[in-house]
Amino acid sequence: MTKIAILGFGTVGSSVAKAVRILGIPGLEVSHIYNRDVARKRASAAAAHVGSDAIWTESIDDILHSDANIVAELVGGMDPAGSWIEAALKAGKSVVTANKQLIAYRGPELQKLAADNGVLLLHGAAVAGGVPVIPGILQGLQGDTITRISGILNGTCNYILSRMEAGDAYSDVLKDAQRLGYAEADPTADVGGFDARAKLCILARVAMHTELDPEQVATQTIADIDAVDFAYARELGCTIRQVSRAQAQGDGMYARVAPMLVPLQSPMAWSHGTQNMVVSTGAMGGDVVFSGHGAGGDATAVAVMSDLLAVAQGARCVSLPTVAKTVTGDSVAPHYLRFIVDDKPGIVSAISGALSKVGANIDSLLQRRGYPKHRLAFVVTTEPTLNSTIAQAIETIATLDCMLVRPLALEMLVVDDKDEETA
Ligand SMILES: NC(=O)c1ccc[n+]([C@@H]2O[C@H](COP(=O)([O-])OP(=O)(O)OC[C@H]3O[C@@H](n4cnc5c(N)ncnc54)[C@H](OP(=O)(O)O)[C@@H]3O)[C@@H](O)[C@H]2O)c1
């Protein structure tokens, strides 16, 4: 009999209990539920999915000393979840978790602890919720040398940006996302790129055997994107998505999470709403695309359930060695620069002067009709240039008197035939 102790009977934990009941696999049962103030959880409608023999507790020691073979950690956060996982592994219990922050920062150390104790630590739900990216890479793509991972790893940002693409304003969409439970009251982790960067670091480890320090991965918020940017992006044959990318670059690794211009023919442009998408590029196999529901209790429970079954079926975990690499957010790419100005003569020459001073060449200048002169929005695109070089020019341009808001600089992804999308 495989007995599962669920830590955290929230959105995902309760859906996992439901999945166990619906699948009804003989020999697999939820034996324990741990949560603070557990009486409240036991009285909830979701408790109907839990068998009458299950033990509900608010003492973690009850779990650690129990006969449960697998602990499903679905509380989230670094601590106390991290200490509980450690204690469970030391107690000889395998652990399944959906906790991306913990796995991004402490994954290798916890994997070693699991191996030392002869148990497993699986985290297939930590990236892209119900989309089997991690098991897909581990089981289907280890035969390749993966050179790049790029994708849409945060469903909240994808929901916001794809609604803005359809004409809605950022502030309205964010409110809707919060009302629908897609975004937290404080949306910083999502819109600022911190949630996606944790997932990107996990994918770099799994796919490219590279350890990245999440704190070193550059992020850029989507909160500065405006409706005008979608209008100009469309003129350039693009849309805007929060893109997470990691790619081998010299001895190190380029990794960045930022809103970027994505060509309409790129698979990433097709991803709407809370969907996630990951494009894995292999030296031999080329591009493989994973896509589907990246969040939500039921979708995420599918990934957790698959890991629980893998443990129950006696999976063996073969972890390939990883190498720590320095990370840079700097790469050479064409850029989209958007300015909102109180129009005066000489602005374009001041901008082109600042760009040419750092060695950046203008590729095009776009000015749509209909914007008033006292708040004119126009765009310059550049030829491929380092992000840091563009940032230098932006510092100068931002000081011009006519600038009404800080100029926005976005990397532009470029599609080429050999290689689905490269910067
Ligand atoms: N939701 C998703 O779509 C999704 C997708 C992918 C991955 N994940 C990951 O899955 C994990 C769970 O997320 P969730 O959305 O299910 O969160 P959630 O709805 O907030 O559930 C967390 C549960 O843990 C309980 N809990 C929190 N802190 C606790 C503590 N210190 N002691 C005891 N119980 C505690 C909460 O109890 P209270 O009710 O008292 O707060 C709640 O029942 C997280 O790691 C998250 O990143 C979630």
Ligand 1 mean position, distance from CA 346 (Å): 55
List CB contacts of 236: < 8 A, sequence separation 6 or more: 261, 336, 366, 381, 412
Task: Ligand 1: list residues with CB < 6 Å.
Answer: 8-13, 35-37, 74-76, 80, 98-100, 125, 129, 295-297, 300
Give pLDDT tens digits for 6-27.
999 999 999 999 999 999 999 9
Ligand 1 mean position, distance from CA 152 (Å): 22
Q: What are phi and psi of 367, to 5 degrees?
A: -140, 105
Inform me whether the pLDDT recorded for 420 exceeds 90. no
Give pLDDT tens digits for 104-153.
999 999 999 999 999 999 999 999 988 999 999 999 999 999 999 999 99
Nearest CA to ligand 1 atom 4: 295
Ligand 1 mean position, distance from CA 352 (Å): 50
All domains of the chain in start order, with CATH: 2-122 (3.40.50.720), 133-293+319-328 (3.30.360.10), 332-412 (3.30.70.260)
Q: Rounded distance, CA 85 to CA 113, Å?
A: 10
Give pLDDT tens digits for 226-243.
999 999 999 999 999 999
Calculate mean pLDDT across residues 320-339: 93
Given the structure tokens 């036991």, which residue do they identify? Answer: 42
The fraction of the chain above a pLDDT of 90, given in percent, is 89
- Residue 296 CA, closest ligand 1 atom number: 3
pLDDT at 328: 95
List CB contacts of 349: < 8 A, sequence separation 6 or more: none
pLDDT at 416: 59
Write down how long the chain is.
423
Ligand 1 mean position, distance from CA 136 (Å): 25
List CB contacts of 410: < 8 A, sequence separation 6 or more: 229, 240, 258, 259, 260, 261, 335, 336, 338
Q: Are strands 376-382 and 362-366 parallel, antiparallel or unpaired?
A: antiparallel
- Residue 9 CA, closest ligand 1 atom number: 43
3-state secondary structure of 411: strand
Catalytic residues: 199
8 A C-beta contact, residue 334 and residue 384 = yes
Give pLDDT tens digits for 353-407.
999 999 999 999 999 999 999 999 999 999 999 999 999 999 999 999 999 999 9
